[in-house]
Structure 1
Amino acid sequence: MAVDFYQKLPEAIKAYEPEAVSLRRALHKIPETGFNERETQAFIMDYLEKLGYTPEKVCDTGVVLFIPSLNGLDETIAIRTDMDGLGVVEETGVDFASEHEGMMHACGHDGHMSMVLLVARYLKEHPEARVRNTLLVFQPAEEGPGGAGPIVESGVLEKYKAKAIFGYHLFPFVEEGLISTTPGPMMAMTSEFYIDILGKSGHAADPDQGIDAIVATADYISGLQKIVSRTVSPNDSALLSIGTINGGTRMNIIADKVILSGTVRSFSEDVQKAMKQRMVDMARGIEQMYHCRIEIRFVDMYPPVINSEVLFDQIWPLCGEADEKKLFKKVMLAEDFAMYRKAIPGVFMGLGSGSEEKGYTQNLHTHGFNFDEKVLLRGLQVYMNILTKAGEYTL
């Protein structure tokens, strides 16, 4: 596949390889955190303006560009990319490594932006491809606190009458050059939780005089680990993971406080609600058993990414992989592309970047994540297929 996908690309797409490399590497050098993407925004605005477009700033550090149809077909297809980087120290060893200390494009957003910039250039240089209105959305803060919601709330989708939206994520666990997506649930809903277990301090030699928050926590954690297996239907998928635990001050003092944090994920808002309620119910039981107090705070992040089945049926043959075994296997990763799906129909797609032969096996959000820019051409090809060859998107 690693060779085949490139060899099968149209020559008109292959011609953009030098630009794909140049764009990705320039953007890779300037990662910025969510809603701080000033340099990235300036790069995008400058690039689009030099192509003769008039991009607009949105949500402080975002960018949108409306490209009208030249064929009179008054329907708008939106394409979204995320912009932000991560607080990860880069260890790729590449000569285009991050120039921002402690920051890295470790989630492929440099590649995502490059593909959408290539769409803009392709449409400028191939006006015959402008069969529909196109809205390019450069969204800040996907990694947090979430820029998709503010983009939707800005009204830009309504302003340009966007009828459907598409987007990519590079995935190293998908074979290089493969487009992989699925109808229905694709990525998970996620909620963070922060829990304080409050007891009473005392000397370890007099445990009966205190309320041991650590012992109460141990029982509580044991119960939490049973929620998925005994509360969620085997037909549904869900997880509850505890990421941090902090408590105690000395080895001979009864701990009066333990702090937990973690995540709850599923593909259903009803399942998510049921799991959170079960966590609260268990906390009330632990309080009675140990005479402690438990405070729980939930922070709901992103809803599940659920692809439009109607749109999927239209664009799947355009991906060149209309084979059931290539369908994306839903993952517990979260993505704020889900916010667009609450507003309009859409399909999120995985673009494979994994290659053992080339050593591109590092996972997302790791110090060594990297990929071959040729995969961006595959993404460009499918974007152009969607913009020029798909049906009328009559929903």
Structure 2
Amino acid sequence: MTLAAAHANTGDTAWLLAATALVLLMTPGLALFYGGMVRTKSVLNMLMMSFVSIALVTVVWLAGGYSLAFGDDVAGGLIGGLDHAGMAGLGPDSVHGTVPTLLFATFQLTFAIITAALISGAIADRAKFGAWLVFVPVWALLVYVPVAHWVWGPGGWILDRLGALDFAGGLPVEITSGASGLALCLVLGPRLGFKKDAMRPHNLPMVMLGAGLLWFGWFGFNAGSALGANGLAAAAFLNTLAAGCTGLLGWLFVEQKRDGHPTTLGAASGAVAGLVAITPSCGSVSLLGALAVGLAAGVVCSYAVGWKFKLNYDDSLDVVGVHLVGGVIGTLLIGVFAVNTMTGGPQGLLYGGGLAQLGRQLAAVAVVAVYAFGVTFGIGKLLDKVIGLRADEDHEHTGLDLTVHAETAYDHGVLGHGAPVSAHSVLSHQKVKPQA
């Protein structure tokens, strides 16, 4: 559509510009959140896995990812075409709804970026950085892009044929990242010392700062998905705040009852769990529904993060327990709490809609989770065979900051005192060569 046919609305455009910046900020926020949760020897590696995802996904998205996700459908609801590869035909006058198409494409890009970065938390402390550089663009094209088309793209089968609802990314973002994280951590195997050594977060203030930045950015994530400065954006904004609060309180309640201590890590994790769950449902449920969704996620996810010890999969930073489980909760509860004043039609079980919408949500969750897990497992196995995914044992033991990046976040964390020392001298002292 060109300017001759429609004009971009300046208010909507201004809001989406701000929302896009907010969502992009979420990835550095995630880097701090994850960085604080790992041990001192892998802080920089964790930060780098998030930051490099910004660059890798952006290149893939501009080259063809956007066109495949949001171009006109060419394969029965499965994928878009390549008419806009390299952003062809999308000049400054092109309009998507009431906003410039280039802005809409950039907004959607920020979603793709953080989804890829989320997966890194499941494989913290033990993945080769060079393998991550290959994995991210391949995964973005084979997993994120098709699912985004199914859910949001023109002619996508989940949107147009199944009729499942997902306002801001429970399926393409939360469930794909969680299921993919599970697949990749199974391919890699557990960290050295898993279930034996203490692997506590090294910097809880950093975790809280990261969680705060994520919460701040999440308003752009959810309210921005209204694609306009309107009442729906306001409702999604309030629902996001409410669910984050009840998620936090729910997690702390479980910690107090189970462990006798409400923790800062629990507060940060609970807020994120509530925000994850409200992501798909913020444009479908009332304020009361949002409070219930957040509370359910905070309580259930606080137990789900412990499943890895019982089932013996090392999801390092609880991507499965928070993002997969929280995403499933939020997507399914649309079928319970959806109200027609928000959706414009479909209603959930509690509002007279019967089981039909819940069934649609369940089908969408199952297909996306299985697809993301299966394709990611295949990608991981192939990369592991060709170039190797797992860091060498001595590199993992020493720490990936030193062996991969020839840097350390804290000098005293390496040599045991505060004397300044160059990365080169530390490497020589440790007799470990950097690896990609």
Scaled by the length of structure 2, the TM-score of the pair is 0.25
As a proportion of its length, which structure holds more strand? 1
Structure index of larger Rg: 1
User: Which structure is higher in RCO with an 8 Å CA cutoff and minimum separation 6?
Assistant: 1
Scaled by the length of structure 1, the TM-score of the pair is 0.27
